[in-house]
Every structure is written in structure tokens, then in C-alpha cells.
Structure 1
Amino acid sequence: VFKKILIANRGEIAVRVIRTCKEMGIQTVAIYSEPDRTSPHVLLADEAYCVGPGTSSKSYLNVIKILDVIQKCNADAVHPGYGFLSENCDFADSVQKTGAVWIGPSTKAITTMGDKMAARKLVLKTGSPVVPGTTEPLTSINNAKETAREIGYPILIKAAGGGGGKGMRIIHSENDLKNVISQAKSEAKKAFADDRIYLEKYLEEPHHIEIQVFADNHGNVVSLGERECSIQRRYQKIIEETPSPFIDYKLRLELSKTAIHITKSCDYLGAGTVEFLVDKHKNFYFLE
């Protein structure tokens, strides 16, 4: 059992991890930016360290500073939460080099599934349906225009290094492409310290369905069913409902089977989510 866990995150997720640790008798360490110094997660933790100013790239994405705190506080383990550095394999590897345990998927799984384009490549190899799009980052505006014409408008620009709607934009015509690409790259860089973006076909009025999976280190994977996550604002989920009123028994089995197959293909370990888009005809596509 760990004696002290550092939570490399903020807000609700950090609070939830801290509460669970307290119930288990484990000491907690919070990190915070200067404006967050009186936030709930800071006040609840046993120890708290400032890692930089308000800008995320200089605080919650400040790998060097966070690694310094891990060693300074003698944390046994690090919980990354979600977002920020949770899908950064270099950070996960660096944490383990300090001697602390990384509470999350292996660096191999993060490399494959945390990178949206790498995940698309893997899933295509498994034969599972994938939303039409690119598997390589956009390199120029001309490259983007050519790819968009092949896919067909409307298209979606997405960040390769993370989710949560950061760096995501809908484009309905070629006239908007240049400005939107610049904005998306800038936002992705600030949110994930990674400005790679890619294109994906925008499916209009789909259902956003997530399958919750758990995997152990013996190769066993189980599905806990679906969550309906279609009610969103600015690509952020507002309501998650289970079971989905749209999914029938047959489709639930197909989605779960596909999610388990994908999870096994990347040697995933721990709790995870496989996300799909389902159209009005109940055809489904891997999302991320």
C-alpha cells in the first residue's frame, strides 16, 4: 500500500482522488498554479506545492517542476487524473525514473492510445470501423486542403495529444481552413504542450457512446456497458446517462466486444474508456 500519492492535476478529479486516499489512510500531495492556491484540492491535501503561474503550460504542464516536487515530497506514487499530462508517455516514463509508481496505463499503451492518430492506426489494423480521417499530422495548409477535399466537408480538426474539446474545430468550407488550423494548433499547444492536429470527417447528429473497460495484468478485460454522452456544450459532456436510451441489446454487445478487442490489442492496464460515434442507422465508428 502506498504511503503518499502526488496528484498531478487539479479541480474535481484531484479532490476525488484525495478523498479516496484519505479513506484508505494514504497521505496526499497537491500541486497548484498561483491562482489556484486556495482551491479545494489544495486545501484538502496533506501537502501542496506551487508549480508555476496561472498559464497551464507553465504550471500543470511544467514537467520539470512537477518531477522536482515528486522527489522533494518523497511521493510513493503519482496519479495523473485525466487531461493535462495523463496521456503524456514521456512524463509517465520520467515519473517512474524517479522511483515513484505511475498510477495509470503503461507507457506503451499511452503512446498508442493517448495519441489520437496512433490510436486510429492501431484500430484500423484490428479491422474495427473508424471515423474517416487522417492518421498523420497536418503539415501545411495545402496538405490540409487536399485531405479535406478527399474526406469531404464538413470536417473536424482535432488535437492529436489530448481531448476534452481542446483544439477541436468544425470546418464547413475551405475558406475557413487556414484561420481555424492556426487557432486549433495554438490551443492544442497550450493545453497539451503538443500542437499536432489532424482531420476527421464530421458526422452530423451522431450519438456519442462510451464503453467503460477494466483490464488486469493477466490479459483479462471486461466491459461495464455504455454511457450516453451526446448532450454536450463546446465539446464538453454535460450529462452522461446509462444505459443509453438509443442503444439496443444487440448493439450493446457489438460495442462491448469491439471495445474489449481494441483494449487487448494495445495491452491496456487499468480502467479506461473506448469512445464511439453511432449514426442514426446504428452504424458505429471508433472515435478515440
Structure 2
Amino acid sequence: ADETVCIGPAPSVKSYLNIPAIISAAEITGAVAIHPGYGFLSENANFAEQVERSGFIFIGPKAETIRLMGDKVSAIAAMKKAGVPCVPGSDGPLGDDMDKNRAIAKRIGYPVIIKASGGGGGRGMRVVRGDAELAQSISMTRAEAKAAFNNDMVYME
């Protein structure tokens, strides 16, 4: 790099996740575009929107694409609509009807995975090997998803 700009102290919440600080750094340096890098804000649709609203080019997908693909249930639906083969799974989020959930699991075939729709990084997933584990696994994955991603929607593959 030819130039550096302090965007905040070491904790990432106060620096690499601080959207106003990043936009200010771009303004100070006369940048034309912002690349989000990997992790941190790279999958944050609000960041992409704020970059563009501030007059910069966002180097990455459009905010609506980030939003669509960040929710696994909507991403799978979009892929199916586009004709992309997908792993067998539930057609949308799992409901509270355990008879329906067991039928989905039987159609897919055990073992299945219960996944958080808003999850990522290997979090919010549970392997289920049989009917006896299904209800508790759905409940536990929902609770973990709510705590980690503020979204308790889960689906099955």
C-alpha cells in the first residue's frame, strides 16, 4: 500500500466493522471505489448500499444479491428457479408440524442436516440420524440461529 489511514482501534467492531470510518477513509484518500475484502463487511448488504449512497463504487455484488444469497432458503429458491440442481431438502423453511418435518426427512433419507437459513461459517447446523433426534435438533438449531444470527428460520437438507 502507498498510503494508510487509521479506521479505529484494534477491536474489529470499532474499525473493520465501522462503516462510517471506512467511508470516511475513502473520502479522505480520494478513492473512487471500495472493495470490502473478505469477511467483515463483504457479505453486508447495508454496507454495499451505504458505499453507493456515499458516491463510491462498491466492488462486489449488488446489495439485493447479497441479501438474497445471505438467506439460504431464498438462495435455494432462486437457484431452483434458475434451473440449478440443488441438494434434496425442504422446500422452504421448516414449520412446527413435526409430522410434516418427519415426512420431509423420510423423503430425503437420513441422515439429514438442519441448517439455519441466515447461518454461515459452519454455525447453525445439526446432523440428524433418525426420527428420535429430529424435534430436538430443530428446536436447538432454531435457538442457536436466533442467538447467533437474529433469525430462527431453519431448513433441512
With normalisation by structure 1, the TM-score equals: 0.43
- Among candidates 19, 27, 35, match of residue 4 of structure 2: 27
8 Å contact 1:78–1:102 — kept in the other structure?
yes
Paired with 2:51 and 2:36, the residues of 1 have a C-alpha distance of 10
Q: Deviations over 1:152-188 (max 9, x none)?
A: 2211111222422110110111222232223323333
Higher strand share: 1
Q: Deviations over 1:2-44 (max 9, x none)?
A: xxxxxxxxxxxxxxxxxxxx2xx24355567xxx64xxxx7xx
Note closer, same or farther for the CA distance 1:111–1:133 as it changes in structure 2 (3 Å cut): same
Paired with 2:147 and 2:43, the residues of 1 have a C-alpha distance of 15
1:93 CA displacement: 2.2
**Equivalent position amino acid for 1:81 in 2:** Y
With normalisation by structure 2, the TM-score equals: 0.70
1:60-209 correspondence runs (5 A): 66-70=18-22, 73-75=24-26, 77=34, 79=36, 81-82=38-39, 85-140=41-96, 142=98, 143-200=100-157
How many residues end up aligned between the 2 structures?
A: 150
8 Å contact 1:117–1:160 — kept in the other structure?
yes
The aligned residue for residue 50 of structure 1 is 14
Note closer, same or farther for the CA distance 1:28–1:109 as it changes in structure 2 (3 Å cut): farther
Q: Deviations over 1:53-101 (max 9, x none)?
A: xxxxxx95xxxxx344345x4435361523x553343443244334454
- Kindly report structure 1 stretches of 4+ aligned residues shifted beyond 6 Å: none
Note closer, same or farther for the CA distance 1:199–1:103 as it changes in structure 2 (3 Å cut): same
Q: Which fold has the larger relative contact order, with Cα–Cα distance below 8 Å and residues 6 or more apart in sequence?
A: 2
Higher helix share: 2
Paired with 2:72 and 2:154, the residues of 1 have a C-alpha distance of 9
Q: Deviations over 1:132-171 (max 9, x none)?
A: 0124122325253342233222111112224221101101
Paired with 1:193 and 1:78, the residues of 2 have a C-alpha distance of 26
Note closer, same or farther for the CA distance 1:188–1:97 as it changes in structure 2 (3 Å cut): farther
- For structure 2, the residue ranges without an aligned partner over 5 or more in a row are none
Root-mean-square deviation (CA, aligned residues, Å) is 3.2
Paired with 1:85 and 1:190, the residues of 2 have a C-alpha distance of 20
Paired with 1:196 and 1:26, the residues of 2 have a C-alpha distance of 44
- For structure 1, the residue ranges without an aligned partner over 5 or more in a row are 1-21, 43-48, 52-58, 61-65, 201-288
8 Å contact 1:159–1:167 — kept in the other structure?
yes
The aligned residue for residue 243 of structure 1 is none
Percent sequence identity over aligned pairs: 37
SS at match of 2:14: strand
8 Å contact 1:167–1:186 — kept in the other structure?
no
Note closer, same or farther for the CA distance 1:133–1:102 as it changes in structure 2 (3 Å cut): same
8 Å contact 2:115–2:155 — kept in the other structure?
yes
